[in-house]
Amino acid sequence: MAEVITYREAVAVGLAQEMARDPSVVLIGEDVGAAGGVFKATVGLFERFGPSRVRDTPISEQAILGAAMGAAMTGLRPVAELMFADFVSVGHDIIVNQIAKARYMTDGQVELPLVVRFGNGGGLRFGAQHSQSVEGWLMAVPGLKVVVPSSPADVIGLMAASIRDNDPVMFLEEKALYGTKGEVPDHEHVDELGTAVVRREGSGATIVSLGTMVHRSMDAAERLAEDGIECEVIDLRCLVPLDVTTVATSVTKTAHMYTVEENPRLCGWGAELVSIVTEECFYDLDGPVRRITSPHVPLPAADALEDAVIPSVERIVQVIRESLD
Amino acid sequence: MTIESTTQVISGAPHGAGVRADLETRTGMYRAQVRARYFEKEANDLFLQNLVKGTTHLATGQEAVAAGVAGALRPDDYVFATYRGHNHALLRGVPMDALFGELMGRENGLMAGKGGSMHLTSVERNFMGSYAIVGAHLTIANGAAWSALYRGTDQVAVAFFGDGATNIGAFHEALNLAAIWKLPVVFVCENNLYMEYTAISAVTAVEHPAASRASAYGLSPLLIDGNDADVVYACATEAVALAREGGGPSLIEALTYRHGGHSRADPGKYRPDSEIQEWMSRDPLPLYRARLESDGVAAETLDKIEQEAHDEVATARETAKASPPADTATVERQVFSDGGSSWRR
């Protein structure tokens, strides 16, 4: 029988599932051990797997990422937590210049089966340096896979798939979702990277969303249904690999596409997706594709301001309703 | 410090100085230095013929550091080097023709032409890469050392880096993590007195860029003559043994000198003539040859080593020149583990 747990608890469940299965899986990061993580997402792992497999590090993002890379080169499957996704900028060289390029530059000699976990996104009033959605930065780098789960079940299944994958996977946990609950399987759960899921079927318009925005898109779709607009809501789940097939199939059916993105406007993931859809599905469209994103600003701290920046259910409803009129 | 005072281990040998390799090993270290010297000479010539493109960073003059450390390692130890890393690749047994091929962008290149001079890697030889972002690989060497520790092997990781790397954050993060986790890693600073075009002394707060900082990580300051392979071997042997026994990391600063400029673009004119002359008089190759002869190695043996290295370079160069240009069919290969570059489904 399925159990209901939080997104936060699902992180530890997913990690434990893989650590119990494979002794080469190890976890490092700031406060991930005895403290259970600043997001409390690794509670219990230190006690269960011990200090050699769950290691606390200093505040040294480059050292954390370099250690993960070197370990992955030499037989381990490390998972590194970078805490707030904003901190990726401090270790950007190791991810972008080292981890992402190693396989290519060596023509396949180096394999890096590693996962980097981040607490991504806004909504918690932390201000501009602890709230960014960095998926666009990571998606732009050849050699990285990018995963953004939206539910506890996906956290477990996609975590397992990421750890078992032989490429470096950037695993973006949505901070705003840590407290949300959902059903998870009571048996081993392994999902597949690069597969989007249709969360709600509909024929009036396609809403493509990711992470926290999946939930807002679903709420918006319910409101729009009251007006007679039946939206199909797609949860991309992964940006790399990008499941274009599921999106194109839906757009062919609905003839209208909207993206709902938490990231700032310029070069957000939706820009790439819109480009693909206009190239490949142009004659299936009955109207312009619209992107609903945060404006091109850093995230402000005050609740009233942050709420005005990140796409809200009301904004999604308004844009879709007006453009379909 | 005077140059004279650098002719032996200067300070802080881990268990006391004086590990002397046998004559066969020392003759091997001479061969290693000669091969590296001749390789770099040919790499430069090929560049002048426009057969090597882009850039090269030659280690001419610094051969004794690589040779001395390599002599102290096992084949299963991990080596991480820098963009000035042709010599380190050679000394891990990477075939010369594959190195020339990589420098020349040929199909027979070590990485099929996708890496180039600054990124030489041979996982098969546990030569875990040459890294061209200063300092980054110190953190990666830690990971290999951590992995060895976790897997319960007694492998050691070695990271070579230049003096310039001691002023970047990754150096300090790596030293601290290695110290607190007691990782089996040996950090070897090849201090050639210049970070790129600027004297390291002009941009560093302490006298010895690596050794003076060792105490900040609870490590012994090790400052040695990097132009003497015997001194390097002795120090590296102690440091590697310490790492293998679970004693944690070491930080070695080996003083040496780059005979040329930083890279192909740099004639190195900023260096005083007197300094160049002083260091050229301490060229590690003739000094080491003379010592081996005085220790009883026949001149003919050393002549033969030089002739063989000369021939090896010539043969490898011709093999690489005969190889076709890198195959453009590889450009979308090996971005991901499925062997391709597809990012969509």
Q: Where are the domains of chain B?
A: 4-323
Q: Clarify whether residues A107 and A229 are in a common domain.
A: no
Determine whether the interchain pair B143/A26 forms a contact, defined as Cβ–Cβ distance below 8 Å.
no
Look over chain B and give the mean of its residue pLDDT values, rounded to a whole number: 93
Q: Clarify whether residues A179 and A224 are in a common domain.
A: no
**Domain final position from A136, A163, A184:** A184
Closest CA of chain A from B111, distance in Å: 5
The predicted model gives B65-76 an average pLDDT of: 97
**Which residue in chain B is spatially nearest to A53 when comparing CA positions?**
B150
Determine whether the interchain pair B121/A243 forms a contact, defined as Cβ–Cβ distance below 8 Å.
no
Closest CA of chain B from A2, distance in Å: 30
- Residues from chain A contacting residue B345 (CB–CB below 8 Å): 194-195, 241-245
Determine whether the interchain pair B114/A66 forms a contact, defined as Cβ–Cβ distance below 8 Å.
no
Domain that holds residue A282: 197-324
The partner residue sitting opposite B140, judged by closest CB among A76, A98, A145, is: A98
Q: Clarify whether residues A252 and A172 are in a common domain.
A: no
Between CA A254 and CA A311 the distance in angstroms is 22
Among this protein's residues, is A187 annotated catalytic?
A: no
pLDDT score for B19:
81
- Type of residue found at B315: T
- Hey, is the C-beta of B137 within 8 angstroms of any chain A C-beta? yes
Between CA B255 and CA B4 the distance in angstroms is 12
Select from A55, A90, A82, A63 the least CA-distant residue to B173.
Answer: A63
Between CA B127 and CA B130 the distance in angstroms is 8
Residue B316 neighbours by CB under 8 Å, 6+ apart: B95, B96, B97, B99, B100
Between CA B131 and CA B192 the distance in angstroms is 18
Determine whether the interchain pair A106/B177 forms a contact, defined as Cβ–Cβ distance below 8 Å.
no
Q: Clarify whether residues A207 and A115 are in a common domain.
A: no
SS3 assignment, position B344: strand
Between CA B194 and CA B163 the distance in angstroms is 7
Determine whether the interchain pair A63/B139 forms a contact, defined as Cβ–Cβ distance below 8 Å.
yes
For the segment B252-299, what is each residue's pLDDT rounded down to a tens digit? 999 999 998 888 888 888 999 999 999 999 999 999 999 999 999 999
- Hey, is the C-beta of B333 within 8 angstroms of any chain A C-beta? yes
**Tokens at B54, concatenated:** 């882009």
Per DSSP, the residues of A21-85 read: H-TTEEEEETT-STT--TTS-STTHHHHH-TTTEEE--S-HHHHHHHHHHHHHTT-EEEEEEEEG
Residue identified by tokens 């259910």 is A313
Determine whether the interchain pair B336/A145 forms a contact, defined as Cβ–Cβ distance below 8 Å.
yes
**Which residue in chain A is spatially nearest to B136 when comparing CA positions?**
A94
pLDDT band at B7 (very low <50, low <70, confident <90, very high): very low
In a domain, A192, yes or no: no
Measured between alpha carbons, how far is residue A245 from residues A143, A192, A194, A196, A253 in Å?
21, 15, 10, 9, 12
Q: Clarify whether residues A36 and A159 are in a common domain.
A: yes
How many domains does one find in chain A? 2
How many C-beta neighbours within 10 Å does residue A223 have?
A: 17
Catalytic residue among A130, A189, A215, A256: A130
Q: What percent of chain B has pLDDT over 70?
A: 95
**Tokens at A175, concatenated:** 């901070």
Residue A20 neighbours by CB under 8 Å, 6+ apart: none
The CATH code of the domain at B4-323 is 3.40.50.970
Q: Clarify whether residues A144 and A75 are in a common domain.
A: yes
pLDDT score for A1:
52
In a domain, A268, yes or no: yes
In a domain, A189, yes or no: no
In a domain, A81, yes or no: yes
Q: Clarify whether residues A169 and A218 are in a common domain.
A: no
For the segment B215-245, what is each residue's pLDDT rounded down to a tens digit? 999 999 999 999 999 999 999 999 999 999 9
Determine whether the interchain pair A166/B344 forms a contact, defined as Cβ–Cβ distance below 8 Å.
no
Per-residue pLDDT of chain A (325 residues; tens, 9 = 90+): 579 999 999 999 999 999 999 999 999 999 999 999 999 999 999 999 999 999 999 999 999 999 999 999 999 999 999 999 999 999 999 999 999 999 999 999 999 999 999 999 999 999 999 999 999 999 999 999 999 999 999 999 999 999 999 999 999 999 999 999 999 999 999 999 999 999 999 999 999 999 999 999 999 999 999 999 999 999 999 999 999 999 999 999 999 999 999 999 999 999 999 999 999 999 999 999 999 999 999 999 999 999 999 999 999 999 999 999 8
The partner residue sitting opposite B174, judged by closest CB among A63, A93, A276, is: A63
For the segment B110-156, what is each residue's pLDDT rounded down to a tens digit? 999 999 999 999 999 999 999 999 999 999 999 999 999 999 999 99
Q: Clarify whether residues A41 and A178 are in a common domain.
A: yes
Q: Clarify whether residues A167 and A210 are in a common domain.
A: no
Q: Clarify whether residues A216 and A172 are in a common domain.
A: no
The 8 Å CB, 24+ separation contacts for A182-185 are: A182/A4, A182/A5, A182/A7, A182/A10, A182/A151, A182/A152, A182/A153, A183/A2, A183/A3, A183/A4, A183/A152, A183/A153, A184/A2, A184/A3, A184/A4, A184/A5, A184/A10, A184/A13, A184/A152, A184/A153, A184/A156, A185/A2, A185/A153, A185/A156
In a domain, A18, yes or no: yes
In a domain, A58, yes or no: yes
Is residue B9 scored above 80 in pLDDT? no
Is residue B1 scored above 60 in pLDDT? no
Q: Clarify whether residues A164 and A267 are in a common domain.
A: no
pLDDT score for B306:
98
Instruction: Say how many residues make up chain A.
Output: 325
Q: The CATH number of the domain where A315 resides is what?
A: 3.40.50.920
Between CA B49 and CA A74 the distance in angstroms is 39
For the segment B172-230, what is each residue's pLDDT rounded down to a tens digit? 999 999 999 999 999 999 999 999 999 999 999 999 999 999 999 999 999 999 999 99
Q: The CATH number of the domain where A20 resides is what?
A: 3.40.50.970
Whether complex ipTM tops 0.85: yes
- Residues from chain A contacting residue B336 (CB–CB below 8 Å): 103, 143, 145, 167
Between CA B109 and CA B87 the distance in angstroms is 16
pLDDT score for B329:
95
Between CA A162 and CA B55 the distance in angstroms is 38
- Residues from chain A contacting residue B131 (CB–CB below 8 Å): 98
In a domain, A43, yes or no: yes
- Hey, is the C-beta of B345 within 8 angstroms of any chain A C-beta? yes
Q: Clarify whether residues A159 and A204 are in a common domain.
A: no
pLDDT band at B17 (very low <50, low <70, confident <90, very high): low
Q: Model-level pTM?
A: 0.96
